[in-house]
Amino acid sequence: MRKINEIFYSLQGEGYHTGMPAVFVRFSGCNLKCSFCDTRHEEGTWMSDEDIVREVIKYPARVVILTGGEPGLWIDERLVDALHQEGKYVCIETNGTCLLPENIDWVTCSPKEGAELKLDRMDEVKVVYVGQDVSPYLDLPAGHYFLQPCSCSNTGEVIAYILQHPEWRLSLQTHKLLQIP
Ligand SMILES: C[S@@+](CC[C@H](N)C(=O)[O-])C[C@H]1O[C@@H](n2cnc3c(N)ncnc32)[C@H](O)[C@@H]1O
Ligand SMILES: Nc1nc2[nH]cc(C(=O)O)c2c(=O)[nH]1
Ligand code: SF4
Ligand SMILES: [Mg+2]
């Protein structure tokens, strides 16, 4: 059984897959307490893998995004397999502090200052920019490097930084701009 905060259908608002329809599975709880965290994730109900898959397949999209809270605390190959059995493409939003099952299709790592990274594989890095030194994150083994304004509040500052450091790309939280989930 796994503790689930919510399962909902929307567009991926952030990062490389922005605009993709996706089913979000939000796990409860986290091992970090980021001051800027925009998500209330502690509440949850216990669901079996069968319950989770049954809810996910109510929606027509192929993409499933495991998030939280920190989904790395909860997931294993068995859950990812069960979603693969239904033809789903499984993505994860993670802070990078947990080892992940090998069979995940797409890893979005959002490293946090002072939190040790355990991942050796990731597809994109997506850093919430609050003025910190982000240059070390360019050494992470990813294919895409995104900076994301914090709660849409410092977009100008992020644009200015990226114009001076063009290895980075802008990720907007487009779901917040559009006022969708
Ligand atoms: C709520 S977290 C859940 C997944 C995981 N715990 C993590 O931090 O990657 C999902 C994404 O939202 C980002 N995020 C959290 N709070 C934010 C905020 N106030 N503004 C912009 N992005 C934020 C995180 O960095 C992460 O990329
Ligand atoms: N639309 C939408 N896109 C998202 N991408 C990552 C999210 C998250 O909270 O992990 C998120 C979210 O909460 N909503
Ligand atoms: S790691 Fe993610 S879920 Fe946990 S507190 Fe930070 S932003 Fe929120
Ligand atoms: Mg969110």
Tokens of 66: 């495991």
ipTM surpasses 0.95:
yes
Check residue 145 and give its pLDDT.
99
Q: Of all protein residues, whose CA lies closest to atom 7 belonging to ligand 3? A: 37
Ligand sitting nearest the alpha carbon of 109 = 1
Torsion angles phi and psi, residue 42, rounded to 5: -70, -40
* Count of residues making up the chain: 181
69 Cα to the center of ligand 4, angstroms: 10
Check residue 177 and give its pLDDT.
97
Check residue 176 and give its pLDDT.
98
Check residue 46 and give its pLDDT.
98
Is the minimum distance from the CB of 94 to ligand 1 under 6 angstroms?
A: yes
- Atom in ligand 1 nearest the alpha carbon of residue 109: 9
Q: What pLDDT, in 10s, does the model give residues 127-177?
A: 999 999 999 999 999 999 999 999 999 999 999 999 999 999 999 999 999
Is the minimum distance from the CB of 93 to ligand 1 under 6 angstroms?
A: yes
Residue 30 annotated in active site = yes
Check residue 89 and give its pLDDT.
99
Residue 24 annotated in active site = yes
Is 45 marked as binding a ligand? no
Is 69 marked as binding a ligand? yes
Check residue 143 and give its pLDDT.
98
Residues 152/130, Cβ–Cβ less than 8 Å: no
Query: Residue ranges of the chain with pLDDT lower than 70?
Result: none
Residue 91 annotated in active site = no
pTM of the shown model: 0.99
Which of 92, 90, 26 lies closest to 62, judged by CA?
90
The architecture CATH gives domain 2-177: Alpha-Beta Barrel (3.20)
Residue type, 64: V
Check residue 102 and give its pLDDT.
98
User: What distances in angstroms separate CA 181 from CA 16, 153, 173, one per listed residue?
Assistant: 18, 18, 11
